Structure 1
Amino acid sequence: MSRRSFASFVAAAAVLLGACASPSNPSADEGPAGMSRSATESPSSEPGAPRVTGTVASGLDTPWGIAFLPDGSALFTERNTGRILEITDGTTREVGRIDDTRVQGESGLLGIAVSPAFDTDRLVYLYVTTEHDNRILRATFDGAAIARPEVILDGIPAGRIHDGGRMLFGPDGMLYVATGEAGERELAQDPDSLGGKILRIDGEGEPAPGNPDPDSPVFSLGHRNVQGLAFDDRGRLWASEFGQNDVDELNLVTPGTNYGWPEVEGAGGPDEFVDPVLTWPVSEASPSGLAWFEGSLWMAGLRGERLWRIDIDDSNIDGTDGEAIAATATDFLVGEYGRLRTVVAAPDGSLWLTTSNRDGRGSPADDDDRILRTEIA
Structure 2
Amino acid sequence: MIGRRKVLLQISAAGLAVAAACVGARAEDTIKIGAAYELSGNFVSFGAAGKRGVELAADAFQGRVAGKPIEIVFKDNRSDAQTAASAINELLQHGVKYLVGPASSVSIAASIPAWRQSKPLWVASGATTAIEEQLGQEPNLYHIYPYTYDYQRATAAALKTILPAGAPIAVIYADDNYGRSSLAAVRKYVGEAGLKIVAEELIRPGANDLNPTLTKVRMARPQAVINLVQAADLITLAKQIQIARLNVPYLVSGGDVGSVEWQQSVGDAQEGWIGVTPFALGAQRAGDSRRADIFPPQDEWEKRFKDKYGFPPNWNDAAHYTAAAMLLLALDQAGGDDPQKVSAALNAMDVQTPMGRGKFEKINNTLHQAFSDALVFQRQGGRNVVIYPKDVATGAAKSRG
TM-score, normalisation: structure 1: 0.25
Greater radius of gyration (CA): 2
The answer to which structure has the higher helix fraction is 2
